[in-house]
Amino acid sequence: MRILIVEDELSVARQIAAALTEDGHDPKAVHSGEAALEELSKGPFDLVVVDIGLPGINGFELLRRLREQHLASRVLLLTGRSAVEDRVTGLQLGADDYLPKPFAMRELVARVRALGRRYPEEPVICLRVGDVTLDLSTHDVHRNTQRVELSPRELMLLKVLMREPGRVFTRTELCERVWEHAHEYDTKLVEVFIGRLRKKLGEPPLIHTIRHVGYTIGGPEGKTPVRRTTNSQRRG
Ligand code: CA
C-alpha cells in the first residue's frame, strides 16, 4: 500500500517508514499536518498514519480535514494519550483504527495489514492477455487498438479463458461455464466457438489447442489485471 506517515518525531517517523517498507509497503513520511495536506493534494494514498500530537494542525484537526475533503481512504491514529475520550474523538472523526504510544513496530505493521484487508482491492476491471484486452464493465474487446466485435457467447467464452491465462480448460468445462444448461450443450459447440474467436482475434494466434485435453489462452505471464485505485472511491 502507498502510505503517508504524519509524525513530527523524526526518529519515530523513520522507524515506522522502515518497518512498513520491510513489510512491502511504499511509505512516505512528513512531519506536520500542513505538509500532509500538501502531499495528499498531489496524489492519493491508501492509508494515512497520523500522530495526534503534531505542531500546528494537530492530528484531530488533520483527520477532520481529511474526511471533509475526502483526501484519505483509511486513517490509523497514533497517540501518546491513552484517554478513552481521545480514542472516541478519533473514531468519531473517522479514524479507522487507533494505536496508543508507545507501541511495538510489530503491532503497527499488523494493524496496517488488517486495515489493508478491511478494504479489499478494487475488482479487476480489465482483463489483458498479450495484446488483447477485455473491459469487464463495457465488454469492449480490443486487440492492440483494433476493436473486436463479439457475440455474447463468444464474449463469455473469451472471458472464461482470459480470467485464467495459461490454464488448460477441457471442452466440457468450457461448455459448462458458457452454456448454462448442461443437457443442451454439445462439446462440438466449443470447437465452433473457439474457431470463431480465433478468426476474430486474428494473428498471431492467442488461443492454443492442447491435444487430447482442451484449450488455453496466452500464458501465465500474459495476465495483467488492471485495477481502479482512485482514493475517494474506495470508501464508497
Ligand atoms: Ca508527536
For residue 108, report the distance from its CA to the centre of ligand 1, in Å. Answer: 16
Q: Which pLDDT score is estimated for 172?
A: 85
Sketch the domain layout of the chain as residue ranges: 2-116, 124-235
Rounded to the nearest angstrom, the gap between the alpha carbon of residue 135 and the centroid of all alpha carbons in its chain is 16
Which tens digit of pLDDT belongs to each residue from 110-119? Answer: 999 988 876 6
Instruction: Give domain 2-116's CATH superfamily.
Output: Response regulator (3.40.50.2300)
Instruction: With beta carbons less than 8 A apart as the criterion, state whether 194 and 207 touch.
Output: yes
How far does the centroid of ligand 1 lie from the alpha carbon of residue 37, in Å?
A: 17
Instruction: Quote the pLDDT of residue 93.
Output: 84
Query: What pLDDT score does 229 carry?
Result: 40
Cα 232 to ligand 1 centroid, rounded to whole Å: 27
Any residues with CB less than 8 A from the CB of 149 and at least 6 apart, and which? 200
Centre of ligand 1 from the C-alpha of residue 53, in Å: 4
Give CA–CA dist 59/62, Å, rounded: 5
Please choose, from the candidates 114, 211, 223, the residue with its C-alpha nearest in 3D space to the C-alpha of residue 168.
Answer: 211
What pLDDT, on the 0 to 100 scale, is given for residue 47? Answer: 93
State the pLDDT at residue 182.
54
Q: Is 165 exposed, middle or buried (0-12, 13-18, 19+ CB in 10 A)?
A: buried
Q: Provide the β-strand partners of residue 77.
A: 50, 98
**What is the whole-number distance in angstroms between the Cα of residue 36 and the centre of ligand 1?**
14
Q: Cα(222)–Cα(236) distance, rounded to whole angstroms?
A: 31
Q: How far is the CA of 7 from the centre of ligand 1 (A)?
A: 6
Q: Ligand 1 mean position to 52 CA, how many Å?
A: 7
Measured in Å, residue 115 CA sits from the centre of ligand 1 at 22
CATH for 124-235? Answer: 1.10.10.10
At residue 230, the pLDDT reads: 42
Bridge partners of 215, per DSSP, are 169, 209
Measured in Å, residue 68 CA sits from the centre of ligand 1 at: 23
Which grid coordinates belong to 17?
517508514
CA–centroid distance, 114 to ligand 1, in Å, is: 24
Residue type, position 220, single letter: P
pLDDT score of 226: 45
User: Please, which residues bridge with residue 122 across strands?
Assistant: none
Coil, strand or helix at 111:
helix
Q: Tell me, in angstroms, the distance from the centre of ligand 1 to residue 27's CA.
A: 18
Quote the cell numbers at residue 174.
Answer: 468450457
Low-confidence ranges of the chain (pLDDT < 50): 220-236
Nearest CA to 136 out of 8, 28, 2, 228 is that of 228
CA neighbor of 166 nearest in space, from 211, 123, 206, 225: 206
Cα 92 to ligand 1 centre (Å):
21
Ligand 1 centroid distance, CA of 57 (Å)? 11
